[in-house]
Amino acid sequence: MLKNNEKGFTLAESLLSLMVLVTLAVFLLPLMMQMTGQSKALWEKQKGMRILYEEGEKRLLEGKNFHFTYHGEGERYDISWETSEATVCYEFSGQAACIKKQ
């Protein structure tokens, strides 16, 4: 007489659950990588604005136009201020971008 062993999962159930996990990983990993890249870009933009604000706050009392270059932690920020426009250009990991405030 055969004994019925119902302790555990069958091979088909195990393969099905593994397939579901792999499918989720295929869709979620690229999305997470994209979100991480966007987060870094937003962080750099925010940091550029913060440096512009701090430098502008220091130098606006002088009432003159200025150009300042900030180097730190592998990053470079070029900050320029003219009476009507402020600009921050930053370079990080080989990518450059500019932020302008009027």
Band (82; pLDDT cuts 50, 70, 90): low
Nearest CA to 101 out of 37, 54, 52, 30 is that of 52
Instruction: Classify residue 77 by burial, with Cβ atoms within 10 Å: 0-12, 13-18, 19+.
Output: buried
**Residue, of 12 and 85, whose pLDDT is higher:** 12
Q: Which two tokens stand for residue 47?
A: 């940091």
Q: Which two tokens stand for residue 67?
A: 């150009």
Instruction: Classify residue 79 by burial, with Cβ atoms within 10 Å: 0-12, 13-18, 19+.
Output: buried
Cβ-contact 86, 93 below 8 angstroms: no
Band (36; pLDDT cuts 50, 70, 90): very high
Structure confidence by residue, pLDDT tens digits, 1-29: 556 667 778 889 999 999 999 999 999 99
Domain ranges of the chain: 12-101
